[in-house]
């Protein structure tokens, strides 16, 4: 059964004739995503401090936003967080509330990364920026009260994809590993071949059409889908990666590839926990104003971060 609150949201979107993302030019899609967050997201909770920073990326300056907890150990452990939005939409503001919630509830600092977006900057710009942000923490975090030896990687949807890919890139480069991967309904296989892409491909906010729209901008060449930086599930070796918490939603096209990634990590000897919110839709964790289970999911994430210490 679809969660009644999720059903009510879908019905409201239909009643108000909210245009599907894939029908919009990408600039309009970004604006709509930014504007409609007020309908579903809770009021932003207070944290200790919020600062806008920047890091030097491989080809451009990467905007960052640092959330510091009001309490907790000093220097702070830091969750490097990558926002969702199909690598095409989303920014520091669209995910401000979830970063504040994770900071407040876990006691960790959260560093939100405004990586470059497609179609202006297609693959592999986003994973390049994602890795550069972590290396910025290693090199400069101490000057901002961050403990560069205690890093976690996290994100939702496209951001979960980037967190997973960054963990692999860090291992391949011989970098010190993160303490945790926090993967919230992550995209892990750009081929979009898992059964849930068919079963949940229409009617539940994120549709097969919208996935194809994002993929067309981000990885326009099908050969790119096989690259592990785009499809972490297809990496030849998933061993020696940080422990992972993988959350999925039962009515999400990405559900099965999230579970497959959790299973693949476990098969490679990586500690992984998998939780599926069976009645939920893609994107629900940011919708705490209208979906109560968003808060339950955030509680799980915050608890995982606390345990990782």
Q: Which residues are catalytic?
A: 157, 252, 282
Asked if 212 and 289 count as a contact pair (C-beta separation under 8 A), the reply is no
Alpha-carbon span 207 to 213, nearest angstrom: 10
Alpha-carbon span 143 to 124, nearest angstrom: 29
b/e 238-273 (16+ beta carbons within 10 angstroms → b): beebbbbbbbbbbbbbbbbbbbbbbebbbeeebebe
């Amino acid at each position: 059964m679809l969660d009644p609150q999720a059903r009510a949201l879908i019905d409201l979107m239909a009643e108000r004739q909210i245009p599907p993302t894939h029908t919009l030019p990408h600039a309009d899609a970004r604006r709509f995503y930014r504007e409609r967050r007020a309908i579903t997201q809770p009021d932003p909770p207070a944290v200790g401090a919020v600062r806008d920073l920047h890091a030097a990326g491989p080809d451009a300056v990467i905007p960052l936003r640092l959330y510091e907890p009001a309490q907790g150990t000093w220097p702070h452990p830091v969750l490097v967080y990558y926002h969702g939005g199909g690598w095409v939409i989303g920014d520091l503001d669209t995910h401000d509330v979830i970063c504040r919630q994770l900071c407040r509830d876990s006691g960790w600092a959260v560093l939100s990364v405004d990586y470059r977006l497609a179609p202006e900057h297609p693959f592999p710009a986003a994973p390049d920026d994602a890795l550069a942000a972590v290396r910025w923490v290693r090199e400069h975090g101490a000057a901002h009260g961050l403990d560069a030896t205690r890093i976690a990687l996290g994100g939702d949807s496209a951001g979960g994809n980037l967190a997973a890919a960054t963990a692999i890139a860090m291992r391949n480069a011989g970098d010190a590993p993160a303490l945790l991967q926090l993967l919230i309904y992550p995209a892990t296989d750009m081929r979009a071949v898992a059964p849930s892409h068919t079963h949940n491909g229409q009617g539940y906010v994120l549709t097969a059409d919208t996935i194809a729209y994002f993929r067309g901008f981000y990885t326009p060449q099908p050969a790119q889908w096989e690259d592990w930086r785009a499809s972490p599930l297809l990496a030849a070796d998933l061993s020696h990666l940080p422990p992972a918490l993988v959350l999925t939603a039962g009515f999400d096209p990405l559900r099965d590839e999230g579970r497959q990634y959790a299973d693949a990590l476990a098969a490679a000897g990586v500690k992984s926990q998998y939780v599926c919110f069976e009645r939920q839709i893609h994107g629900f964790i940011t919708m705490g104003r209208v979906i109560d289970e968003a808060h339950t999911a955030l509680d799980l994430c915050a608890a995982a971060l606390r345990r990782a210490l």
